[in-house]
Amino acid sequence: MTDLTFGWFLPTSGDSTCLADPAQRIAQSPEMFEEVVKAADEGGFKYLLMPVNASCWEATVTAAFYAARTENIAPLIALRSGYCNPSLSAKMYATLDQLTGGRLCINLIAGISDDDTKADGILDSKQVRYEKMDEEVEIMKRLWASNEPIGYEGKHYQVNQVIEPKPLQQPHPPFFLGGGSEQAMEISAKHSTVHLFWGDKPEVIAEKIKDMRQRAAKYGRGDAIGFGMRLQIVCADTEEEAWDEAHRLIAGATKFQLYNSNKGQEAVESIRKTSEANQRVWQLLEESGSEMKIHPHLWTGISMVRSGAGIAVVGTPDQIAATLDEFVDAGCTSFCLSGFPHAKAARLFSTKVMPIFKGRLADGIPQAA
């Protein structure tokens, strides 16, 4: 399959060389961000995921700053439902899309837990956040397409505006969404350019893609929606070195002492209650046994110490490429990746793994249809 895209991750909550050892944490700084962004931009990655939680630097401001300092890569910016008026979101994203020459992707997020969003002052339940997300995306699409006031009357928003500018990308910048709940999958089927799955077995992903295409077909989008994987990468010249590196990454770890949260065990229980995607990742961790493998080169170890996407592809460049190709065979065309530390891992992937896909790479970011 051709037209594959690879994205990378900007760790604005900090980086690490060992996730269980605070002494090996790499603090947030413009210098660290610059190194990661430069490695990704020069390495052939098409988009850069900007994370959002209380410990991250603000995603839209960071994205705009680095969009002005790069030539190739597109920021993948989180739109958190309920956090921003949709008319303002539409105007912000269209402006950035124009100013970057069409280098913009939008990541739809309802929030990883109710407690996290309440701490931010957003009191909506997860169901309401997804309801708002659906309306917000619909409003933005209409604002971007119309030269007349849109007359939108929804449950949560009433908008009768016309805005400028319109986005450079037509019909609009691509939407990404990663989520495992019924609401997430339904909204993704309706709106997403790329539905992102967190790590799982390739055969499971193939079945999920079939389900998602059926859902999208209800909206006339069965062939329009694309699919991707959100994965970690641990790459070395030999398989033994790769596994040694993976095990060093979590050396001394206490299960569910999350390095990417400042709320300890309380955060784990809150996430378990509201995030089906995290429930699945942690289920895979429990099922993977002492070796923490769900596949010869898919490792659950990072999920011991990280919420979100914790499944890693571990091996030599050829083994990693072959494993990614199993997901391509399942129906995926995009890979949103990360690795520790992120600048080094980006350079390693771009020089050792990406060339294996030469002739199969897309020229730009996924395009909305």
Q: Over the stretch 344-368, which tens digit does the pLDDT of each residue have?
A: 999 999 999 999 999 999 999 999 9
What integer pLDDT is reported at residue 270 of this predicted model? 60
Tens digits of residue pLDDT in 133-148:
999 999 999 999 999 9
Among 171, 166, 231, CA closest to 198? 231
Work out the average pLDDT over 194-220: 96
| Whether residue 202 has a cis bond before it, omega within 30° of 0 | no
CA–CA separation, 24 and 35 (whole Å): 17
Tokens standing for residue 265: 């065990």
209-217 — which CB contacts under 8 Å span 24+ positions?
209/330, 209/331, 209/332, 211/185, 212/185, 212/188, 215/185, 215/186, 215/189, 216/189, 216/190
Low-confidence winner among 42-56, 125-139, 256-270 (lowest mean pLDDT): 256-270
Tokens standing for residue 224: 């329009």
What integer pLDDT is reported at residue 283 of this predicted model? 87
Fold of 5-357: TIM Barrel (3.20.20)
SS3 of the chain: the string is: CCCEEEEEECCCCCEECCCCCHHHEECCCHHHHHHHHHHHHHCCCCEEECCCCCCCCCHHHHHHHHHCCCCCCEEEEEEECCCCCHHHHHHHHHHHHHHCCCCCEEEEECCCCHHHHHHCCCCCCHHHHHHHHHHHHHHHHHHHHCCCCCCEECCCCEECCCCCCCCCCCCCCCEEECCCCHHHHHHHHHHCCEEEEECCCHHHHHHHHHHHHHHHHCCCCCCCCEEEEEEEEEECCCHHHHHHHHHHHCCCCCCCCCCCCCCHHHHHHHHHHHCHHHHHHHHHHHHCCCCCEEECCEECHHHHCCCCCCCEEEECHHHHHHHHHHHHHHCCCEEEEECCCHHHHHHHHHHHHHHHHCCCECCCCCCCC
Domain locations in the chain as residue ranges: 5-357
Q: How confident is the model at residue 93 (pLDDT cuts 50, 70, 90)?
A: very high
CA–CA separation, 112 and 246 (whole Å): 26
User: Cβ distance 135 to 157 under 8 Å?
Assistant: yes
Work out the average pLDDT over 206-231: 97
What integer pLDDT is reported at residue 264 of this predicted model? 55
Max alpha carbon distance in the chain (Å)? 62
CA–CA separation, 211 and 337 (whole Å): 24
What integer pLDDT is reported at residue 274 of this predicted model? 60
What integer pLDDT is reported at residue 179 of this predicted model? 86
What integer pLDDT is reported at residue 125 of this predicted model? 93
Work out the average pLDDT over 299-318: 91
- ∠ Cα 290 291 295 (to 5°): 130
Tens digits of residue pLDDT in 264-297:
555 556 656 566 777 788 788 888 888 999 999 9
For residue 244, which amino acid is it? D
List phi, psi (to 5°) of 152.
Answer: -85, 130
For residue 345, which amino acid is it? A
CA–CA separation, 104 and 77 (whole Å): 8
What's the mean pLDDT when you consider all of the chain?
93
For residue 168, pLDDT beyond 70? yes
For residue 258, pLDDT beyond 70? no
User: Cβ distance 86 to 157 under 8 Å?
Assistant: yes
For residue 198, which amino acid is it? W
For residue 37, pLDDT beyond 60? yes
What integer pLDDT is reported at residue 106 of this predicted model? 98
What integer pLDDT is reported at residue 273 of this predicted model? 57
What integer pLDDT is reported at residue 254 of this predicted model? 77
Q: Is the pTM of this model over 0.85?
A: yes
For residue 304, pLDDT beyond 90? no
Q: Residue 229's Cα: distance from chain center in Å?
A: 8
What integer pLDDT is reported at residue 189 of this predicted model? 98
What integer pLDDT is reported at residue 251 of this predicted model? 95
As a residue count, the chain comes to: 369
Which is more confidently placed, 305 or 365?
Answer: 365
For residue 70, pLDDT beyond 90? yes
Handedness of CA 259, 264, 270, 272 (dihedral sign): positive
What integer pLDDT is reported at residue 267 of this predicted model? 59
